[in-house]
Amino acid sequence: MIGSRPRVGVFLPAPGFPGRSASEVLEGTVAAAVAAEDAGFDAVWLAEHHFMTYGLCPSAVTLAGYVLGATSRITVGTAVSVLSVQHPVALAEQALLLDQVSGGRFRLGVGRGGPWVDLEVFGTGPERLEAGFAESLDLLLAALAGPEVRADGPVFRFRPVQVVPGPWAGVDPLLAVTSQTGIGLAAERGLPMLLGLHADDGEKARFVRAYRERGGPEVAHVSTHLAHVADTAAAAQAEVRESLPRWLRPGLAGYTRYDGAPRVPRDADEYTDLLCRLHPVGDPALCRARLGRTLRRTGARALALMVETTGETARTCENVTRLGAEVVAALALPPACPAGPRTAGEVGATR
């Protein structure tokens, strides 16, 4: 029955595993997106990274346009477009264009980003990351709502202009949240939160509770998970523990701070071990149990599963297919977590 199950998508960062060319990585990411549609997933979420091999997609909106053209049913979104290095109105124009040409299948996720060299390269500076982020977010939302937008703030100032094209279904934005400040921004604007891989169920539950305490409406927050399925839990975890650090070691080391301050990358093996403990990495029963636990404990109503765990396209597509048939199909929202009204992006996904 519509509304009785969570909406589940795949989360695709286009990871730069050593030994794979950019073409191989990006073709594999697109293949995983198509496999997700075939496997019955509701959404594809595309990540954005700059100047590093952690993710080889520097424009999630651009790749989303390509994936929308390669699919026909599934919602395609950004998780996330980094708002601190882009002009909010330009990003809104791109989002509205994809909303129009896809018949409402595009969804825009945005995030603050970090204190990385991106701020220097794109000329936005640390002020856009810090004090200017709320202004950027509000300007983005104003442009998405249209029909005109103007700015008279500390960072952005311009006369009223018409927003073209206007929305088809609306892009239903969401905000990546990792702090109390982010929770407040999301709650005050009624935006769903995207909850990250690093957080356990307890932290995600605290975020959702704080969102409600700050007056946030009932919306479908998205919980992100690493997901890898095999015949046995031991086989799945051994596979991930062997493969994932090969990507994480050079990927995590690629973050360069804007201010030049030194940083020690997270230990790849320890991080992989943490992800295997937190997330659905195992046989189908274990994967179902862990995701069901998340839905019961956190208040999230939607899931995004990171499935590019081995750096091998065929294995990724097999992972997607098995997750769809043996895990996702059996998930249900708990009685205390009603689905509520469907969003514009979800309506577009059923066309």
**Do the strands 302-306 and 7-12 form a parallel or antiparallel pair, or are they unpaired?**
parallel
What the block records as the tokens of 326 is 């043996």
Q: Is residue 55 part of a domain?
A: yes
Domain count, the chain: 1
What pLDDT score was predicted for residue 336? 61
Task: Tell me the C-alpha to C-alpha distance, in Å, between residue 160 and each of 88, 95, 147.
Answer: 15, 20, 10
What pLDDT score was predicted for residue 133? 98
Q: Is residue 52 part of a domain?
A: yes
What pLDDT score was predicted for residue 73? 98
What the block records as the tokens of 310 is 């081995």
Of the candidates 199, 200, 197, 194, the residue with the CA atom closest to the CA atom of residue 182:
194
Whether omega for the bond prior to residue 165 falls within 30 degrees of 0, making it cis, is: yes
Of the candidates 134, 126, 127, 131, the residue with the CA atom closest to the CA atom of residue 110:
134
Q: Is residue 74 part of a domain?
A: yes
Whole-number Å distance between alpha carbons of 42 and 8: 5
Whole-number Å distance between alpha carbons of 262 and 219: 39
Q: Is residue 270 part of a domain?
A: yes
Tell me the average confidence (pLDDT) per consecutive run of 10 residues in the chain, 351 residues long.
80 98 98 98 98 98 98 98 98 98 98 97 96 97 98 98 95 96 98 97 98 98 98 98 98 95 94 98 98 97 98 98 98 70 34 26
Q: Is residue 105 part of a domain?
A: yes
Domain of 201 in residue numbering reads as: 7-349
Q: Is residue 345 part of a domain?
A: yes
What pLDDT score was predicted for residue 3? 56
Q: Is residue 1 part of a domain?
A: no
CB-CB contact of 139 with 161 (8 Å)? no
**Do the strands 75-78 and 109-111 form a parallel or antiparallel pair, or are they unpaired?**
unpaired
What the block records as the tokens of 329 is 């199909």
Task: Tell me the C-alpha to C-alpha distance, in Å, between residue 94 and each of 69, 101, 136.
Answer: 15, 11, 16
Q: Is residue 2 part of a domain?
A: no
- Say whether 197 sits in a helix, a strand or coil: coil
CB-CB contact of 33 with 2 (8 Å)? no
The CATH number covering residue 17 comes to: 3.20.20.30
- Main-chain dihedrals φ then ψ at residue 297, nearest 5 degrees: -90, -30
- E-state strands within 221-299: 222-226, 228-229, 281-282
What pLDDT score was predicted for residue 335? 86
What pLDDT score was predicted for residue 350? 27
